[in-house]
Amino acid sequence: MNFELRMPDLSTTGSPIKVLGWLVAVGEFVERGQAVLDIETDKASMEVEALNSGTLLEQRISAGQEASAGEVLAVFGTEQTSEKSNRGTTDSPLTEAPKKYDRAFMLSLYQRMLLIRQFEDRVKSLFLEGIMPGTIHQCQGQEATAVGVCAALKESDFITSTFRGHGHALAKGLTIQEMLDELFGATTGCCKGKGGSMHMGNFEKGMIPGIAIVAGGIPVATGMALAFKMRKTQKVVACFFGDGAVAEGAFHEALNMAALWNAPVLFVCENNLYGASTRIDQVMKNTTVADRAVSYGFRGETVDGNDLLAVYEAAARGVEECRAGRGPVLLELLTYRRTGHSRRDPCHYQPKDERSAWFANDPIARFAELLLSGGETDRTELEQIREKIDQEIEFAVERAKTAPQPGPDDLFDDIYA
């Protein structure tokens, strides 16, 4: 089966985009996500990634030529050898998988992380090909933070999220279909098509719609946790935010209030080193976010955010403390996003050696090797999980393309002020 690679919709002015050069030759096999050519827009130069794994069969546009968004750049064939299909490998030292977790639980964690990665990759291709409206802020590389934290929560617990919230939503139990419908602006979406990518959520599944204002969800989470405490429930709120939010006043005010009220809220900082394009050490003297907790009188902890079980265990400890009435906890999860801040960001501010080091520390690859080394599974089963997810996503994409769109009569629904 062949597939086409099209020029992404990257130019803000709609002007043609120049192909600077190819990074792979005809006949060469590439993995999905691998950079295959360099291009130059009216704003910046960047790499274009393969949207599927396969062999490069034909280059339609040569180096030095220009192409418009949506124009076919190359044709790939999907045949591959068994060596090339051994995805999810890493050269990092491995330990044996802990035996205290059963096989079903371990595989469910892997499946959820892979679902987030596959979902985000497919959404990226839909946006870049101009099929899906709006914009995106994606979380490839940060799957372990979402899955590890949400696995430690009960269904009745809540989370607050950010504009980079697809992974949080999938980890909390939102379905592929309701999220894709939302991204296509359909009335069957989780927010009836009114939230889109930056405001994903579903109250019935314990996720309030994402808040696009940096640090905006932190005081909301604190207020929710206070309400749960005053109602004498056992519910906990997990509040996701990025390292950039730590510079906002809302962060400090909300953490201080949560400490004073002994609120059952787990503050989760996904520290991916960059607030948009600014590195954390350019805006903070003390770059250990977890240290902030002690100044407000509660516990903070820094965790390897690409180690799924380390995240899960740290989150479970924090949730237990919150549920037991011992107040808030601040978790700092060290991770890295493999994609730009938003749709058209080529990530030139990330040094190549830094990217290489973090890419070699990929959370999905690490966990796959942990499962394999512990005898929990084999590569065939992991590939079957991947194929099943791909099928589910493709089915949902086709349904979302024809999902019902809102009409004029829907304009004033859900308006409260």
% of the chain exceeding 90 in pLDDT: 69
For the ranges 4-8, 36-40, 68-72, 143-147, the one whose mean pLDDT is highest: 143-147
Q: Which two tokens stand for residue 391?
A: 């099928």
The last residue of one of the domains, among 31, 61, 77, is 77
Residue 13 has pLDDT above 60, yes or no: no
Distance CA 299, CA 62 (A): 57
Distance CA 235, CA 63 (A): 57
Quote the pLDDT of residue 50.
81
Confidence of residue 86 (pLDDT cuts 50, 70, 90): very low
Inside any domain, residue 38: yes
Distance CA 41, CA 247 (A): 32
Q: Which residues does 359 contact at the CB level (< 8 Å), separation at least 6? A: 141, 338
Inside any domain, residue 89: no
Residue 356 has pLDDT above 80, yes or no: yes
Residues 280 and 178 in one domain: yes
Range scoring the smallest mean pLDDT among 74-78, 120-124, 217-221, 350-354: 74-78
Quote the pLDDT of residue 109.
98
Residue 267 contacts residue 215 (beta carbons within 8 Å): no
What average pLDDT does the segment 183-188 reach? 96
Distance CA 129, CA 69 (A): 7
Residues 377 and 300 in one domain: yes
The enclosing domain of 56 has a CATH number of 2.40.50.100
Inside any domain, residue 91: no
Quote the pLDDT of residue 365.
97
Confidence of residue 90 (pLDDT cuts 50, 70, 90): very low
What average pLDDT does the segment 361-375 reach? 96
Strand partners, 332: 269, 302
Quote the pLDDT of residue 46.
78
Confidence of residue 110 (pLDDT cuts 50, 70, 90): very high
Quote the pLDDT of residue 295.
95
Residue 256 has pLDDT above 50, yes or no: yes
Inside any domain, residue 231: yes
* pTM for the model: 0.81
Residues 379 and 239 in one domain: yes
Residues 73 and 211 in one domain: no
User: In terms of Cα–Cα distance, which of 184, 76, 210 is closest to 130?
Assistant: 184
Inside any domain, residue 83: no
pLDDT tens profile 384-412: 999 999 999 999 999 999 999 999 988 88
Residues 255 and 327 in one domain: yes
Quote the pLDDT of residue 99.
57
The last residue of one of the domains, among 43, 77, 111, is 77
Pairing verdict, β 35-40 and 17-22: antiparallel
Inside any domain, residue 127: yes
Range scoring the smallest mean pLDDT among 71-75, 242-246, 368-372: 71-75
Quote the pLDDT of residue 41.
78
Pairwise pLDDT comparison (40 vs 142), residue with the higher score: 142
Measure the CA dihedral 156/399/35/198, to 10°: -40
Q: What's the domain range around 385?
A: 103-401
Inside any domain, residue 96: no
Q: Is 303 helix (H, G, I), strand (E, B) or coil?
A: strand
Confidence of residue 260 (pLDDT cuts 50, 70, 90): very high
Residues 313 and 274 in one domain: yes
Quote the pLDDT of residue 166.
98
Distance CA 160, CA 276 (A): 20
Quote the pLDDT of residue 79.
52
Quote the pLDDT of residue 416.
78
Residues 174 and 303 in one domain: yes
Phi/psi at 334 (5° precision): -80, 115
Q: Which two tokens stand for residue 196?
A: 């889109």
Residues 147 and 295 in one domain: yes
Residues 71 and 109 in one domain: no
Residue 332 contacts residue 303 (beta carbons within 8 Å): yes
Residue 93 has pLDDT above 60, yes or no: no
Q: How many domains does the chain have?
A: 2
Quote the pLDDT of residue 77.
85
Quote the pLDDT of residue 337.
95
Confidence of residue 344 (pLDDT cuts 50, 70, 90): confident
Distance CA 104, CA 214 (A): 37
Residue 307 contacts residue 366 (beta carbons within 8 Å): yes
Quote the pLDDT of residue 11.
56
- Give the chain's mean pLDDT: 90
Residue 311's identity, in one-letter code, is V
pLDDT tens profile 266-284: 999 999 999 999 999 999 9
What average pLDDT does the segment 372-386 reach? 95
Residue 70 has pLDDT above 80, yes or no: no
Residues 194 and 271 in one domain: yes
Quickly count: other Cβ atoms within 10 Å of residue 23's Cβ: 14
Residue 84 has pLDDT above 50, yes or no: no
Residues 70 and 156 in one domain: no
Distance CA 328, CA 290 (A): 12
Inside any domain, residue 124: yes
Residues 283 and 211 in one domain: yes
User: In terms of Cα–Cα distance, which of 182, 193, 136, 190 is closest to 163?
Assistant: 136
The enclosing domain of 356 has a CATH number of 3.40.50.970
Quote the pLDDT of residue 1.
72
Quickly count: other Cβ atoms within 10 Å of residue 407's Cβ: 8
